[in-house]
Chains A and B, each alone.
Chain A
Amino acid sequence: MATLPAETPRLRVRGLCKRFGPTLALAGVDLEVAAGEVHVLLGENGAGKSTLLGILAGVLRPDAGRMEHDGAPWAPTDPAAARHAGLAMIHQELALAPHLTVAENVLLGAEPVRGPFLRRTAMRAAVRDALRRVGRPELPVDAPVGRLPIADRQLVEIARAVALGARIIVLDEPTSSLGRDDVEALFRLIGELRDDGCSVIYVSHFLEEARRIGDRYTVLRDGSSVASGALGDVTQDELVAAMVGREVGDLYPRSKRSAGEAVLRVDGLVGEPLPHDASLELHRGEVLGIAGLVGAGRTELLRALFGLAPVRSGAIRIGVHHGPASPALRWQQGAGMVSEDRKGEGLALGMSVAENLALARLPRWLTRSGLARDTEPFARRLAVRCASLHQPVRALSGGNQQKIAVARLLHADVDVLLLDEPTRGVDVGARAAIYAAIDDLATGRDGRPPRAVLVVSSYLPELLGTCDRIAVMARGRLGPARPVATLDEHAILLEASSSPSR
């Protein structure tokens, strides 16, 4: 079904660049999508997919580069403009108003009116037509969307795209929350949309899925498009190689470590709603990594361990303490956690550097200067750059903020460190400081007994560089932990993106 490039493509992107402060999110992306094709966009987390989609949909402005839609310049000023010009974006988190009805959602912002009044009859007719075209004419147009199952809600979004006459439909990780049957139905629908002449941009981590549904592909890596072509001409291994394509530098110090006694043991942990099943054993003097795709349940596992999310069943033992516990108790038991959500949860942005650093172990009575004296060595160990320890954390760069979140665990002097995406959105300098701190802790170079570190990361080079063992989580299930010497990015990515066996 792939169309010849000689034809004017539905969408053509050339040399797109986008910079966020010091980081170059897109460093020259080319993308060409023909009319009536399903184009798969591949890339690891952080490769620049979200930024590219944001620019296409008018949420972000590019710094450089050209975009054309059917040969005419494409420069949407906001998402509404992009939508009206025929591009519909369907995100993993659906953008529906749960209290409004199906009909109201489908035509939200494009309601047929006569004067100030809604034309309910015309509205229902238009929506029924759209639902028929997405193959679900039986969906109740007057039911609140919040009462529908997830798969049907997704169809409502697609119906919205169809009703507004979208010619480019972008689906971002559409199957991650769907069951098998719903995935099949979605694939049939995508095929019909393509046959109607729609262009579909399909973003997914699941390679088998991508190969089944897609006609052509583009791979992004480190903000550039590194490969594209027809999916029929490429093997799964070649795709993985294109996505990975870099080598682990010596950003990652790894001293000689020796694993001691087990300080964290997890047996058959089931959380609410994830993970489905996780068992692991973490030893003193060891760094254990958990790899997996976004949404696989890695964050949920850490949160359940730390008492931030409910545990449905399974056993947890930290040190000599059994069972689930509140975060307050976890700190007392000698465990600490760094959150993946630095701004929302990791740090209290309005509070000072010293207060954030000491928040998990504040003395009953304190003074400003005493707190500064107490926290200063830890800020120095992670090379936190700030004008003063009394500065609000908000004023610091992302990297320095993250160093504070990590330094908090050093200040609290914990034995078990749970790190969720410890270097997300962080510059190379800060990453190096954090990796060095992890290595120091695991070897006990700071004169304390070696600590145990559990790292969740979507950045594979980081896991391969810092960890002693790595376990892969896929669709809520944690695989066995293997020594890092026996693994490479290719093997991990295959295990993480293999289709579920249910």
Chain B
Amino acid sequence: MSPSTTATVQTWLARLGPALGLIAVWLLFWVLAPQGFVAWENQRLMLLQTAIVGTAAVGATLVIIAGGIDLSVGSAIALGTVVVAGLLRDGCAAWVAGLAGVLAGGTIGLTIGALVVGRVLQVAALVPGLLVAWVRTGSLTLVAVTVFATALAALGLLAPGLRARGRAAVTAASLAAGFGAGWLMAGTAAGAEVALGTGIAAAGALATARIRLRVPLSPFIVTLAMWGALRGIAKGLGDNQPVYVEGKPWLLELMRHGDSGLRAVAAPGVWLMLALAVLAGAGLLCTRFGRHVVAIGSSEQTARLCGVPVEGRKVAIYALASGCAGLAAVLQFAFLGMGDPTTAEGYELRVIAAVVIGGASLTGGVGSIAGTLVGALIMTVVDNGCTRLGLENWVQEIVTGVIILAAVAVDTLRNRGAR
């Protein structure tokens, strides 16, 4: 075999490595033949079981390729389910609640990104406005609305390259949005309080926008803090208990199988995950933004030298990733049928495991969306197969640990020649 053929074979092996692993694990359980493992019903179930971790892992892949890490995914999902359930309970339309779940994730991501690139002062400047909203309304739900409106305002006020008129428009829009949402939920007085809080926060953002002080924090630390804080917020919003929803909003259908058509093959949530993955995969390969993500992870210094707006890109990456976690939260809500501040515990590590089994490197620059989905599937197949074999939970956990080690060891071995 000529060297180039060998190289091609090796590249393909590298690319297909996780998929081969998935097939091997699947075949193993097929041979062990636990009760009902190969049944079509079970395949469908495994896809469904993968949807939530898989959706969040698509976003986490971006973060990890860019050389970062996100430990807040599980807490963000829990918070998201509480937001969605709370809005539905208060009579919001299902699509509003679903969108709010995704946006809640995006807002969390903006905050994480802003802290990672060192805009600590600007983030802190938003806090007084939120406190005013809390003290005057006494309602965490209205504070959450204020957070949305504030995030919109801050995004406009802190983004580089926006002219004065653009900034004024963004501020006005965020005040209007805050007032509108508050008014819809609790009347005129509440709307005014939300707008007041948003206005104070926006003033804080404006006052600090031009200060160049930067205190970059490691993503590990920022998201570790978020891991704790977000679950606290979820518990506060849900008053320390699950949030139940009356009736059967259509959001619940996202995680139910149908009788015919595509919904018979897989639940809508699975299709959502796949669509998101295709979008993210194509974006990573075929857009400037995607290549910038890889460049930042491969060598942040090189990216900066080449004029990549590293700070802005990082904020966008964390916002997108947490947005994915927000979508995963909507799916989790659909799966549970309620908002639960204690749900999704440990998902952040399952998500990272999926990305790593999929061939990504925690040092950045390497990884693929397809690999991540395969990684998530491998973990589901192991869990499902072990359960059907009648093995206890602790066995699954050990097996998953072994698979993570094996995947990374194989990866390291394969790449040894290239370094």
Contacts and interface: CB of A to CB of B under 8 A. Distances in A.
Do A and B belong to a common assembly? yes
Interface of A: 306, 308, 326-332, 337, 339, 341, 344-351, 355-356, 359-360, 362-368, 387, 392, 394-395, 408
A330 B306 CA distance: 10
Contacts of B307: 326-332, 360
B299 A355 contact: no
B365 A350 contact: yes
B291 A308 contact: no
24 contacts: A308-B304, A326-B309, A327-B305, A328-B307, A331-B306, A331-B307, A332-B307, A337-B305, A341-B301, A345-B301, A345-B305, A348-B294, A348-B298, A348-B302, A348-B303, A349-B298, A350-B365, A351-B294, A362-B288, A365-B288, A366-B286, A366-B288, A366-B291, A394-B418
Contacts of A395: 418
Contacts of B304: 308, 327
Contacts of B309: 326, 328
Contacts of B314: none
Closest 3 CB pairs of A and B: A348-B298, A331-B307, A328-B307
B306 A359 contact: yes
Given A351-B365, A392-B418, A394-B418, A363 B305 contact: no
Contacts of B294: 348, 351, 355
A366 B302 contact: no
Nearest to A342: B302
Given A351-B295, A395-B418, A327 B306 contact: yes
A348 B308 CA distance: 13
Contacts of A394: 418-419
Given A327-B306, A328-B309, A394-B419, A344 B299 contact: yes
A366 B294 CA distance: 14
B299 A348 contact: yes
B288 to A, nearest CB: 4
Listed residue (A330, A332, A346) with the most chain B CB atoms within 10 angstroms of its CB:
A346
B374 to A, nearest CB: 21
Contacts of B366: 350
A55 to B, nearest CB: 25
Interface of B: 4, 285-288, 291-292, 294-295, 298-299, 301-309, 365-366, 418-419
A365 B418 contact: no
Interface SS of chain B: helix, strand, loop or mixed? helix
Contacts of B419: 394
Contacts of A364: 287-288
A482 to B, nearest CB: 30
Given A344-B299, A350-B365, A359-B295, A365 B286 contact: yes
A337 B309 CA distance: 16
Contact of A359 (B4, B285, B302, B365): B302
Nearest to A362: B288
B287 A365 contact: yes
A359 B301 contact: no
B287 A366 contact: yes
Listed residue (B299, B307, B365, B366) with the most chain A CB atoms within 10 angstroms of its CB:
B307
Contacts of A351: 294-295, 298, 365
A347 B299 contact: yes
Nearest to A390: B11
Contacts of A350: 298-299, 365-366
Contacts of A332: 307
Nearest to B289: A364
Nearest to B288: A362
A185 B294 CA distance: 51
Nearest to A335: B307
B305 A308 contact: yes
Nearest to A359: B306
A368 to B, nearest CB: 8
A318 to B, nearest CB: 14
Contact of A362 (B291, B298, B365): B291
A364 B289 CA distance: 7
Listed residue (A331, A346, A359, A366) with the most chain B CB atoms within 10 angstroms of its CB:
A359
Nearest to B299: A348
Contacts of B418: 392, 394-395
Contacts of B306: 327, 331, 359-360, 408
Nearest to A366: B286
A406 B419 CA distance: 23
Nearest to A368: B285
B3 to A, nearest CB: 9
Contacts of A366: 286-288, 291
Listed residue (A306, A349, A351, A366) with the most chain B CB atoms within 10 angstroms of its CB:
A351
Contact of A346 (B286, B305, B365): B305
Listed residue (B291, B301, B308) with the most chain A CB atoms within 10 angstroms of its CB:
B291
Nearest to A330: B307
Nearest to A370: B286
Nearest to A303: B305
B288 A346 contact: no
Contacts of B303: 348, 359
Nearest to A394: B418
Given A328-B307, A328-B309, A347 B287 contact: no
A347 B303 CA distance: 9
Contacts of A327: 304-307
Given A331-B307, A359-B308, A367-B286, A347 B291 contact: no
A82 B189 CA distance: 78
A345 B365 contact: no
Nearest to A408: B306
A457 B231 CA distance: 55
Nearest to A391: B7
B296 to A, nearest CB: 9
Contacts of A347: 299, 302
Given A351-B294, A365-B287, A394-B418, A339 B299 contact: no
Contacts of B288: 362-366
A393 to B, nearest CB: 10
B299 to A, nearest CB: 4
Contact of A345 (B285, B302, B308): B302
Nearest to A332: B307
B91 to A, nearest CB: 42
Nearest to B3: A387
Given A345-B299, A348-B295, A365-B288, 4 more contacts: A326-B307, A348-B294, A350-B366, A351-B365
